[in-house]
Structure 1
């Protein structure tokens, strides 16, 4: 009992330390940096990390499994598997569709996966890394998502799956794309890394596809430092994902668990002898992409705050949208019809006919300590990494090129106050008025 009491006292000191050292600093326009993204970490988050460290929970264990269960419940899905990053989550989700356990439905080298050209590399990289062929489609400027019609036009005889992201928290038309996938017997993977807590037609994004992914990098809606997750309502796919994440082993017992299935030494697989230890039978070529209990503990502390974080993101986005309305030369973002985005950022496209360039505007904002980011890679096919990869383009990529040349975004994360957002609005207006 003394140990427990000592721990409680120590954790209270940790909370006190946080309160004393994490006080908000006064916002000084032009001096205080307004970053495009930022994690919101409070005293409970700090205490959760310290408590887990005190217990020496240094690998994936109880905390991680509790977070996985809580996350699955939050999205109304059957299984969530935590990973060491959102990028790893995307790799696992796509690789799961190549598993021999899917038999005739498995994706094979040369099969096609429809994706968008304007996005982040880790949505596309797993397609290439698995020997599959990405089929690139264009997006709409304004929502920055693709359309059902573009995807339908891209379907060919070797198309087997669709893997696309909800752009900066703005949902793509998920109901319609999921129906299209079902009609053509295609898998659908939702990259939900930028859109946790967003909704389309009243339903949470990340619940429409066969698989969905989340990132917990500090820029995202929740953070575990590094980290990510793969979610699904399909138990067969969940089992494949778990095996691939955990070295490709066939056993489902957690590390440290022995004979949970009561037949650990009663398996016979491949040409192994009967009774070979099931903990060391490997039925897939997998990875080690597990997270740690430190990350799981932070996830458990962060998850109850998701709704508050989402409200702050929506509020900041709406304030920017109203404040920047009507500025000549700028194309402002629009939510997808029927959606309620939990925004990742506020996207601005400088119209080609504007009397200033994106570089001039972002340079001015950066000089005011207002952080800017490009819309990730823009047109991926214009990057050196993708020169010469096997691929197909369906239709043109005109808007993807517009994004590459003219688009950027600024932050809406919960650390930004109304005063900060107003300073961002005033800065954009000052620049555009002077140049107009």
Structure 2
């Protein structure tokens, strides 16, 4: 055994010797999300570190190829976060390569008011105007009808996230985009492995984005990805990610294309070094081989992760079936979600508010989260932004006040889920009993 093999073997043994955590109800925190890391992940990181893979290179390209193949897409471009992936995807639609189809400042992009800021921010950061639509109160996604009604003369694109892993009716919305000549970006950060009409989400639009933050289905620590079948868009994404370079050679490659000193672009002299010619106003949003090595290891367990998320969600749904005062989530018709979380909404007739049940659960070490930003337009950052509200945002406002979710990520065990179910039922039962009890009338009241 070589020194390297011995070291990696010791790392694996170290991981396997770690004491298994025993769940203690009310003491052990049940997180809303988290990374699922094993000995293979740890040794993959160690191998990359031993090779000093501290920048993006061969491992990054290997993960891009493997991930694109897994999702059935032609190209994947890794980046440093899901937020950056959204920025790159939307900015790509403004590129000159798209000619007359490119988005121009002031063009409109339809999106949901109830969601996460990074779906909205790239629209504003590119000088475009968001058009906000409401959501359905059972799936927490918008509807094809709402999207179609929101389309106006300057609407050029739709950018929507699959909420908590539950797909929106993406086939129908994709068809609406086709009919109206609109681009579609799928924010698939919460929904890797979800399907709609037996087709993976993230494969319906012009571009799709993924997050590899530890909360998500796969993790590279920090990280994200843009996927597309459009080779022109894939090249633009890569350029924008890599400082705006025109060159398609990877960093560290000298002249793979054989044309490094044979270009005439812009007002530069003929033969100017192609590695230093810039065709876009870009960023440095690259990832590293260390992160990609972890991603490759994680990818081998994606199907298992998705299966466990579905299992945990079903256990919660069955265990809470018929409960009063709380509206239960429903998968979009025709979908098979790879769930990110289990959402519940306090109903209007409930004798308690969201804050009451959230405080109760948090007191029992059960982590909760709101439905991301609720209605984004109610946040200070978005006060006074240039936007259009397509219709009233009644449901977005309601979830901002009354919706929360608990975790279903793979490391949550059946025992933990049973404890969550029992805690929620205990809380609701206490209010139900109080509502059923009425004090005896006094002599004066009887009179």
TM-score range, shorter chain: over 0.9
> Which residue number in structure 2 is paired with residue 6 of structure 1?
3
Q: How does 1:196-207 map to 2 (within 5 A)?
A: 196-207=192-203
Alignment gaps of 5+ in structure 1:
none
> Which residue number in structure 2 is paired with residue 50 of structure 1?
46
> Which residue number in structure 2 is paired with residue 152 of structure 1?
148
> Which residue number in structure 2 is paired with residue 97 of structure 1?
93
How far apart are 1:24 and its partner, in Å? 2.2
> Which residue number in structure 1 is paired with residue 325 of structure 2?
329
Q: How does 1:38-77 map to 2 (within 5 A)?
A: 38-77=34-73
Instruction: Report the Cα distance in structure 1 between the residues aligned to 2:40 and 2:336, rounded to whole angstroms.
Output: 29
Regions of 4+ moved over 2 Å: none
Alignment gaps of 5+ in structure 2:
433-447
Instruction: Report the Cα distance in structure 1 between the residues aligned to 2:98 and 2:268, rounded to whole angstroms.
Output: 22
Q: How does 1:73-152 map to 2 (within 5 A)?
A: 73-152=69-148
1:418 aligns with 2:418: no
> Which residue number in structure 2 is paired with residue 358 of structure 1?
354
Instruction: Report the Cα distance in structure 1 between the residues aligned to 2:215 and 2:412, rounded to whole angstroms.
Output: 13
Instruction: Report the Cα distance in structure 2 between the residues aligned to 1:406 and 1:256, rounded to whole angstroms.
Output: 52
Instruction: Report the Cα distance in structure 2 between the residues aligned to 1:115 and 1:58, rounded to whole angstroms.
Output: 37
How far apart are 1:53 and its partner, in Å? 0.4
How far apart are 1:382 and its partner, in Å? 0.2
1:266 aligns with 2:262: yes
Instruction: Report the Cα distance in structure 2 between the residues aligned to 1:213 and 1:263, rounded to whole angstroms.
Output: 32
> Which residue number in structure 2 is paired with residue 17 of structure 1?
14
1:281 aligns with 2:277: yes
Instruction: Report the Cα distance in structure 2 between the residues aligned to 1:176 and 1:301, rounded to whole angstroms.
Output: 35
> Which residue number in structure 2 is paired with residue 310 of structure 1?
306
Among candidates 422, 425, 431, match of residue 429 of structure 1: 425
Among candidates 377, 380, 383, match of residue 379 of structure 2: 383
How far apart are 1:353 and its partner, in Å? 1.5
TM-score, scaled to structure 2: 0.96
Among candidates 396, 399, 406, match of residue 395 of structure 2: 399
SS in 2 for 1:168: helix
Question: What is the RMSD computed on CA atoms of the aligned residues?
Answer: 0.6
Instruction: Report the Cα distance in structure 2 between the residues aligned to 1:370 and 1:127, rounded to whole angstroms.
Output: 35
> Which residue number in structure 1 is paired with residue 336 of structure 2?
340
1:176 aligns with 2:176: no
Computing the radius of gyration from Cα coordinates, the structure with the larger value is 2
How far apart are 1:8 and its partner, in Å? 1.1
How far apart are 1:409 and its partner, in Å? 0.2
TM-score, scaled to structure 1: 0.99
Instruction: Report the Cα distance in structure 2 between the residues aligned to 1:142 and 1:154, rounded to whole angstroms.
Output: 21
Instruction: Report the Cα distance in structure 2 between the residues aligned to 1:75 and 1:306, rounded to whole angstroms.
Output: 11
Instruction: Report the Cα distance in structure 2 between the residues aligned to 1:259 and 1:38, rounded to whole angstroms.
Output: 42
How far apart are 1:305 and its partner, in Å? 0.3
Instruction: Report the Cα distance in structure 1 between the residues aligned to 2:374 and 2:219, rounded to whole angstroms.
Output: 25
> Which residue number in structure 2 is paired with residue 225 of structure 1?
221
Instruction: Report the Cα distance in structure 1 between the residues aligned to 2:188 and 2:285, rounded to whole angstroms.
Output: 19
How far apart are 1:221 and its partner, in Å? 0.3
Q: How many residues align?
A: 432
SS in 1 for 2:163: coil
SS in 2 for 1:343: coil
Instruction: Report the Cα distance in structure 1 between the residues aligned to 2:265 and 2:117, rounded to whole angstroms.
Output: 37
Instruction: Report the Cα distance in structure 2 between the residues aligned to 1:206 and 1:79, rounded to whole angstroms.
Output: 12
